């Protein structure tokens, strides 16, 4: 199955009210687990690389190349996406390296500056056939626009999409980044209002903290791209701890990262089932 663009996955899903799982890659084990889980579920998938992941590895090229290679041999449609890039330079580098879509985050800027920067980046990406996601609101570290009490206004969201030309919009409806508990309360009514007002697919960040039933309900109300990062790290870490606790003398990394990768793959498949992907 050839590598595809994110829009080729998200567009049809939005039209049919299905969810798309977009999972963050940190190590190679994440990339191969995400692909394996999608294959188990028989569903398309998006592999995401965040600006923080690029910083962790010290360069964009190695991790983007790994994600592209994993996606290219998948038996299901798979896309590679740059997540939460605050720098136009990183966007350009990722596109030059082969990323087919980007999430450009200018949300720390004042509204007019946000619109101008996002519109400029979007135009540059569209000239190269690259799909663009943006977020309206403040994204401050692990909370920002997803902190409790902060919500996206439907009318403002529609105006923002019209002014910037973005292909998808991340909205604040009650989730929060990096949650370790699964008790986030989403505003399902607001999701439906946003879906009616905004002409592009909606994206939910911070989905690891959302219960399964609420995720399914969010998709039914009109949410499409569902970003998951922390949950896979939880699963990987728990499995690695179990393996090391069971065998304290273990030093072969394949013997503990392998089970962790398998556990992540099972979780990816499970979540894709929840999303109806």
83 counts as catalytic: yes
Q: How far is the C-alpha of 83 from the C-alpha of 60, rounded, in Å?
A: 12
Query: If pLDDT is split at 50, 70 and 90, which confidence band does 184 have?
Result: low
Q: What is the pLDDT of residues 60-114, one digit of tens each?
A: 999 999 999 999 999 999 999 999 999 999 999 999 999 999 999 998 888 899 9
Q: What is the pLDDT of residues 188-212, one digit of tens each?
A: 889 999 999 999 999 998 787 788 8
Domains and CATH numbers, the chain: 6-275 (3.20.20.70)
Say which of 83, 105, 167, 187 is annotated catalytic.
83
Q: What is the pLDDT of residues 244-266, one digit of tens each?
A: 999 999 999 999 999 999 999 99
- How far CA 125 is from CA of 22, 94, 99, 100, 218, in Å, comes to 20, 11, 11, 9, 29
Structure tokens at 112: 């007019």
Q: How far is the C-alpha of 141 from the C-alpha of 51, rounded, in Å?
A: 12
The HSE-up count of residue 105 (CA atoms within 13 Å, CB side) is: 21
User: What local confidence, expressed as pLDDT, does residue 209 receive?
Assistant: 76
Q: What single DSSP character describes residue 156?
A: H
How many residues does the structure list for the chain? 277
212-221 helix and 188-197 helix, angle to the nearest 10 degrees:
30
Query: If pLDDT is split at 50, 70 and 90, which confidence band does 178 have?
Result: low
57, 24 contact by CB (below 8 A): no
User: What local confidence, expressed as pLDDT, does residue 186 receive?
Assistant: 80
Structure tokens at 70: 């994993």
Average pLDDT value over all residues in the chain: 91
Q: How far is the C-alpha of 50 from the C-alpha of 53, rounded, in Å?
A: 5
């Amino acid at each position: 199955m050839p590598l595809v663009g994110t829009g080729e996955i998200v567009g049809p899903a939005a039209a049919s009210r299905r969810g798309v799982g977009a999972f963050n890659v940190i190590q190679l084990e994440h990339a191969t687990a995400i692909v394996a889980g999608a294959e188990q579920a028989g569903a398309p998938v998006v592999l995401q690389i965040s600006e923080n992941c690029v910083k962790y590895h010290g360069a964009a090229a190695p991790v983007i190349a790994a994600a592209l290679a994993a996606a290219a041999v998948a038996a299901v449609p798979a896309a590679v996406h740059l997540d939460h890039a605050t720098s136009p330079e990183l966007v350009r580098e990722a596109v030059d390296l082969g990323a087919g879509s980007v999430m450009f985050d200018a949300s720390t800027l004042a509204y007019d500056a946000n619109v101008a920067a996002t519109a400029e980046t979007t135009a540059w990406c569209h000239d190269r056939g690259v799909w663009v996601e943006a977020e309206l609101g403040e994204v401050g570290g692990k909370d920002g626009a997803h902190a409790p009490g902060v919500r996206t206004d439907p009318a403002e969201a529609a105006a923002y999409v019209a002014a910037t030309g973005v292909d998808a919009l991340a909205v604040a409806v009650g989730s929060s980044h990096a949650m370790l508990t699964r008790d986030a309360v989403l505003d399902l009514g607001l999701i439906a209002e946003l879906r009616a007002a905004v002409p592009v697919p909606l994206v939910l960040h911070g989905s690891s903290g959302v219960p399964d039933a609420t995720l399914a309900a969010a998709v039914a109300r009109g949410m499409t791209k569902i970003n998951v990062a922390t949950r896979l790290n939880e699963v990987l870490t728990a499995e690695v701890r179990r393996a090391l606790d069971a065998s304290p003398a273990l030093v072969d990394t394949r013997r503990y990262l392998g089970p962790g990768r398998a556990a992540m793959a099972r979780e990816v498949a499970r979540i894709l089932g929840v999303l109806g992907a």
